[in-house]
Amino acid sequence: MNAFLVVILASLALSWLLGVLSNILGSRHLSPEVPAEFIDVYDAETYAKSQRYARASMRFSTLADTAGTVLTFALILGGVFNWLDVWLRTMEWGQIPTGLAYIGLLSLASYAVSLPFEIYQTFVLENRFGFNTTTVKTFVTDRIKGLVLNTLLGGGLLAGILYFFDKTGQSAWLWCWGLATAFTLGLTYVAPTWILPLFNKFTPLEEGELRTALVEYARKTQFELSGIFVMDGSKRSTKGNAFFTGFGKRRRIALFDTLIDDQDTSEIVAVLAHEVGHAKRGHIRKRLAVGILKTGVVFYLMSIFMHSPGLFAAFGMENMSNYAGLVFFVLLYTPVSLVLSVLANRVSRKHEFEADAYAAETTGDPGAMISALKKLSASNLSNLTPHPLTVWLDYGHPPVLERVRALSKQVK
């Protein structure tokens, strides 16, 4: 058997197996007792509900993972990659349009498999636990907008990459790296004003106690903030959140309306302080730098592997092309991507602890951060006792219980 094929199939299977194992262990790891720290925000009934939600979510994720993996195996073993290529070549469109159609159709197949799961998750799973507020109309328009954006932006980027691999020979990976970096930075820059408003309404937070407290905190920590916005998160879910968008002078914070309804002023200040902590401790800069570096390495490796005949033989291809090489490389990259994501999650969890500590320190009120976290997990029915394997694989944030315990040490 072809060595590339063995690596690809084995790593796809391993990645699926790890996910399933994490869900099985996770279900067993649920604890029927409310952890002592959370007794004031969870009554027995809500806690039992959170356990049912965790169990249902894990079952769902196993099913969705399995469907995705089965599709990929079917495409590979069924020779679909070659069949599609041979068929598209009869159109005689030329390298780049053929490549766009090839990758576009494969993405569409993957989308078609995931769509029923998205529908089920929104309208059955999240609905059953009282989270869903998405109307069918919002769901449909979201998907249409997403498809159009992906086609325009993703298609544009892909056309550029295929062009460079076609025309610039040995240095193609450098050109692609530059293009992808410029693309990411540009997107981050325009996201708050051009892209996010396509999906949500952002209203400046009205004058009042909350606004004054947030502005005062930003001033005290000398943090430049170009705006404080309220986002209509309640349009899709009752779950609360907050995030920063843009960078430099255009940095703004968006607070979900659901968060504002749920939390009092000192808690929301703590949430802002946590986000400011990410910026002040250099997490955002570091993440950006690592991301750019990683993109360079990926394109370099891609340029080495994407033309190897063995890789094309693994997929039973009759013809070689940059576009198919690109798809195959992405599959070959699965094990590396798995390892990198585990490492990235590990660093991210460390950053979360640092941002929590920063918030506790600069607000002088660790209690507010603690109660913000507890309220958030209660209203989102977060799993308080995830299995260590799940945390290791998927958690970009530490389990909330660990965060609360770490913060408790800061309470004087």
Binding residues for Zn ion, rule: CB under 5 A, are 352, 355
**Least distance in Å: CB of 275 to Zn ion?**
7
List beta partners, residue 203.
230
Q: What is the DSSP letter of 171?
A: G
**Least distance in Å: CB of 268 to Zn ion?**
15
Residues 6+ apart with CB under 8 A from 139: 119, 122, 123
Q: Which is nearer to Zn ion, 236 or 351 (CB)?
A: 351
Q: Which is nearer to Zn ion, 160 or 398 (CB)?
A: 398
**Least distance in Å: CB of 210 to Zn ion?**
20
List beta partners, residue 231.
202, 256
Among 411, 368, 377, CA closest to 269: 368
Question: What DSSP element (H or E) covers 86?
Answer: helix 80-89
Q: Which is nearer to Zn ion, 312 or 358 (CB)?
A: 358
Among 55, 62, 72, CA closest to 18: 62
Separation between Cα atoms, residue 399 and residue 401, nearest integer Å: 5
Separation between Cα atoms, residue 350 and residue 283, nearest integer Å: 10
Amino acid symbol at 279: A
**Least distance in Å: CB of 400 to Zn ion?**
12
Count of C-beta atoms within a 10 Å radius of residue 105: 14
Contact 164, 176 (CB under 8 A): yes
Q: How far is CA 403 from the centre of its chain?
A: 21
Q: Which is nearer to Zn ion, 236 or 274 (CB)?
A: 274
Q: Which is nearer to Zn ion, 262 or 356 (CB)?
A: 356
**Least distance in Å: CB of 396 to Zn ion?**
9
**Least distance in Å: CB of 274 to Zn ion?**
6
Q: Which is nearer to Zn ion, 89 or 287 (CB)?
A: 287
Q: Which is nearer to Zn ion, 126 or 352 (CB)?
A: 352
**Least distance in Å: CB of 287 to Zn ion?**
11
